[in-house]
Amino acid sequence: MTRIIPRVAVTPPPICNSSTLRGELSDLVPQPLFNDTGRYLTEDELIRFAGEADALLVGRDRITDKVLSALPQLKIIAKYGVGLDNLDSQALQRHQVELGWTAGVNRRSVAELTLSLMLGLCHNAFQSGWALKQGQWVKEGGQLLQGKIVGIVGCGNIGKEVVRLLKPFECKVWIRDILSMSEFCKETGALERSFEEVLSGADIISLHVPLTAETRHMIHAATLQKMRQTAFLINTSRGDVVNQTALKEALVKETIAGAALDVFSQEPPEDMELLAHPRLMVTPHIGGNAIEAVEAMARAAFQHLKEFFSR
C-alpha cells in the first residue's frame, strides 16, 4: 500500500477467529482492531468498538444513521458477505462514507448447501436419520430429485448457480425474477414463470431474493396455501423473507410436505417448537460459510480497503 491506514476495525467472527485471515489483514494495514467477542455487535457496541476508526470491515452488524453519526472519522465500510439489508444506504450517502462490496462471492457455497437441502428433503435423509438416532428403524427413502419441477424465486448470482448445479438431475426449472431472465433461460433450458405459477406448480421452491420491503414475508399464510401439499420450501436467503409463524402452522397442518431453513428472522432462533418440527430441516446460517467462501469474502473486503487507501 502507498500510505499507512491509521485505524481499521473488523467485526466479522469468521475473520476475527481465523489466524490466517488476521495475518493477511495485518500485512495490509498496521494493527487492525479485531472483535474478539465471537459474535456480531449491537449499534452501541459497534460505536464503542470502532471509536475513531477510519475504516470498518463489517458483516451482519447494523450500520445505521446512529452508528455513522457517532463515527465522524469513518471514511469507508468494507462489507464481508453479499447481503446489504443491514446497511442504511441513504445514511451512508448522507455521511459521505464509501461502501466497498463485491456481489456473488459466496454463491457456490450457498448453492451447494441449497442443493444438499433439496436432496435431503427429497430422500427423507433428515427425518429418517433423526429417527434412527432415536432408535427407530424407519426405512422410508423418499423420492428422486430427478425430474422434479424446481421453482427458483430470485435468480441472481446464487439462484443462477443453483440452476447450473441442478442440470445433471434433469429437473424442470422454473424461474421467477423481477428482471428478464430470457438469455439465461436460453443458456440453461430454464423457463420463466410468474410467482403464482411457481407457487402452485413447483415440487420444490427455493428462495434466493434479497431482503427488501417487497420481499419481506413474501412467503406467508396465503402463499403457503397455494403450494402443493407434496411440495418443499427452502430458504437460504434471508430469514424475514418467510413468515415463520405461518410456516410453522403450514408444517403442523401438513399444508406442505416439508421445509428447510438456513436463515431465520431472529438469529439464533428461539422458537424451539418450530425448530423441533420433524418436517423442518434447519442449519445455523452456514450457507455462505464454506471455508473457501469465508476466505473469498474476507479477501474481497480486504481488497476494497487496499484500493481505497491506495488512492
pLDDT band for position 82 (50/70/90)?
confident
Sequence-distant (≥ 6) Cβ neighbours of residue 277 within 8 angstroms: 248, 251, 252
pLDDT of 4 higher than 90: no
Please indicate, yes or no, whether residues 154 and 245 belong to a single structural domain of this protein.
yes
* All three cell numbers of 125: 435423509
Are both 53 and 117 inside the same structural domain? Answer: no
Residues 173, 244: one domain? Answer: yes
**223 and 80 housed in the same domain:** no
Give me the number of domains the chain comprises. Answer: 2
Do 178 and 41 have their domain in common?
A: no
Shared domain check, 271 and 182: yes
Q: What is the pLDDT of residue 2?
A: 44
- Within-domain flag for 141: yes
Q: Mark 150-182 as b/e (b = at least 16 C-beta within 10 Å).
A: bbbbbbbbbbbbbbbebeebebbbbbbbeeebe
3-class DSSP string for 60-74: CCCECHHHHHHCCCC
Check whether residue 131 and residue 275 sit in a common domain: yes
Tell me how far apart the alpha carbons of residues 215 and 293 are, in angstroms, rounded to a whole number. 25
What pLDDT, on a 0 to 100 scale, did the predictor assign at position 1?
41
Q: Which three cell numbers stand for residue 281?
A: 430441516
Cβ atoms 76, 308 nearer than 8 A: yes
Judgement on whether residues 240 and 152 belong to the same structural domain of the protein: yes
Looking at the structure, do residues 142 and 214 belong to the same domain, yes or no?
yes
CA 39 from centre of chain:
17
Q: Assess whether 251 and 186 both reside in one domain.
A: yes
In a domain, 171, yes or no: yes
Q: Are residues 73 and 123 in the same domain?
A: no
pTM for the whole thing? Answer: 0.91
Has residue 3 got a pLDDT over 70?
no
Residue-number span of the structural domain to which 49 is assigned? 8-103+290-309
Summarize the confidence of residues 126-152 as an average pLDDT: 95
Q: What is the pLDDT of residues 176-228, one digit of tens each?
A: 999 999 999 999 999 999 999 999 999 999 999 999 999 999 999 999 999 99
d(CA 256, CA 3): 58
What distance in Å separates the CA atoms of residue 13 and residue 34, rounded to the nearest whole number? 9
In a domain, 229, yes or no: yes
> What average pLDDT does range 10-20 have in this prediction?
95
Structural domain includes residue 192: yes
pLDDT digits (tens, 9 = 90+) for 228-287: 999 999 999 999 999 999 999 999 999 999 999 999 999 999 999 999 999 999 999 999
Catalytic residues: 238, 267, 285
Is residue 233 included in any domain, yes or no? yes
* Model pLDDT, residue 265: 95
Residues 203 and 165 reside in one and the same domain? yes
- Residue 2 falls within a domain, yes or no? no
- 1 occurs within a structural domain: no
3 belongs to a structural domain: no
CATH number, domain of 139, equals: 3.40.50.720
Alpha-carbon Rg of the chain, whole angstroms? 21
